[in-house]
Structure formats: structure tokens, C-alpha cells
Amino acid sequence: MPIYALGDKEPSIATDAYVHPEAVIIGEVTIGSESSVWPCAVLRGDDGKIIIGERSNIQDGAVIHTTIIYPTIVGNDCTIGHLAHLEGCRVLDGALIGTASVVLHDAEIQQGALVG
């Protein structure tokens, strides 16, 4: 599976997390226990950090990025749908970001919310 350090920024993936061999993890990315990242998803922590909580899933083709100002944080028990794009935002515990949804800079998705 493509997992890349970027300078001194290295991914940290829980031993019981699942990352599909066709997903790409780059830079300052933390993936919590029992979380999963599916085919063609890209988590790119080059400008800032990405944190994926526990038991969350990042589905096929999702893109998660950051900005220099805003990290991207996905809480516990979240679903990030197919082809969704997150950049510099916070998704609180139990939220679901639907297929092809876009959530950008400094947005905060509340606990248990649905974005579709």
C-alpha cells in the first residue's frame, strides 16, 4: 500500500486499522484503531495534519486534505462517503458525509450530523 513520509511528516496508522493497498496515505496522517480506508482514497497531510478517529471509515475515492491554517479532523464512528472531499474541516463523532459531498475550510460538522 502506498504510505509515504513527506520530509519529517510520517503517517501513524493503528495496528488494527485497515488501509486498502490502493489507498494513498501521505505525510502527517493519523488513523485510529479499527478505522478503515478503502480503494483509491487519498489522505494527504502535506500542509497540515489529518486525524482520523477510531472506528471511522473513509470510503472509495474520498480525498482528505488540509490547509496550512486548518487541519482536517474526523472523529470517532464517522463515515466519509465515496468521492467525498474534506479539506481543513472538523467532522465530529458519529457524523456521515455523503457520497461526493464537499466540506471545506474551517467548517465543523456536528456530532451525528448527515451531510448529503
pLDDT, tens digit, for every residue of 9-37?
Answer: 999 999 999 999 999 999 999 999 999 99
Q: For residues 45 and 6, is the Cβ–Cβ distance under 8 A?
A: yes
Instruction: Give, for 102, the enclosing helix (H) or strand (E).
Output: strand 102-103
What confidence category does residue 110 fall into, taking pLDDT thresholds of 50, 70 and 90? very high
Helix, strand, coil % over all residues of the chain, rounded to 5: 0, 45, 55
* Sequence ranges of the domains in the chain: 3-115
Q: Is the dihedral of CA 33, 35, 47, 39 positive or negative?
A: positive
- Is this structure's pTM higher than 0.75? yes
Amino acid found at 11: P
What's residue 33's pLDDT? 99
Q: Which pLDDT belongs to residue 1?
A: 65
Q: b/e per residue, 53-69, with b = 16+ CB within 10 A?
A: bbbbbbbbbbbbbbeee
Place domain 3-115 in its CATH homologous superfamily.
Answer: Hexapeptide repeat proteins (2.160.10.10)
User: Residue 50 corresponds to which cell in the numbers above?
Assistant: 489529518
- Supply the DSSP symbol for 21: T
